[in-house]
């Protein structure tokens, strides 16, 4: 895990919150996306996830707190991570 974010919905504050590790582990991806869908957030195209808290060793990511993000952004990070891991295995 590189960092984790507490996500919720500013439009629907009563739906609760979820803590999501990033990048999302492949083994947990479907479960986490299902939980986001149950909260009516996690769209791949609409920035509907409200970042409530962020725990990261990268200070620049703190800019995301109190911002909207979309699930698609996390999917891009996940795919890039997978490609990097595959590349490193082939090369080393």
- pLDDT digit string (tens) for 12-24? 888 899 999 988 8
pLDDT at 3: 86
Q: Residue 92: what pLDDT?
A: 47
Residues 42-51, mean pLDDT to the nearest whole number: 81
**Average pLDDT of the segment spanning 79-86:** 48
Please check the confidence at residue 66 and state whether its pLDDT lies above 50. yes
Q: What is the edge-to-edge ordering of all strands in the sheet holding 49-55?
A: 18-22, 3-8, 49-55, 68-69
Q: In percent, how much of the chain has pLDDT > 70?
A: 75
Q: How far is CA 68 from the centre of its chain?
A: 11
* CB atoms near residue 81 (< 10 Å): 16
Nearest to 20 by CA among 82, 75, 92, 79: 75
**What per-residue confidence (pLDDT) applies to 69?**
79
Is the pTM above the cut of 0.85?
no
SS3 content of the chain, % helix, strand, coil (to 5): 45, 20, 30
């Amino acid at each position: 895990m590189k960092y984790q974010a507490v996500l919720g919905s500013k439009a629907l504050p009563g739906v609760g919150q979820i803590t999501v590790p990033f990048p999302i582990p492949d083994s947990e991806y479907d479960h986490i996306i299902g939980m986001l869908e149950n909260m009516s957030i996690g769209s791949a195209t609409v920035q509907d996830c409200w970042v409530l808290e962020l725990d990261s060793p990268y200070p620049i990511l703190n800019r995301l707190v109190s911002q909207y993000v979309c699930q698609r952004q996390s999917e891009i990070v996940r795919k890039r991570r997978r490609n990097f891991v595959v590349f490193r295995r082939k090369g080393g």
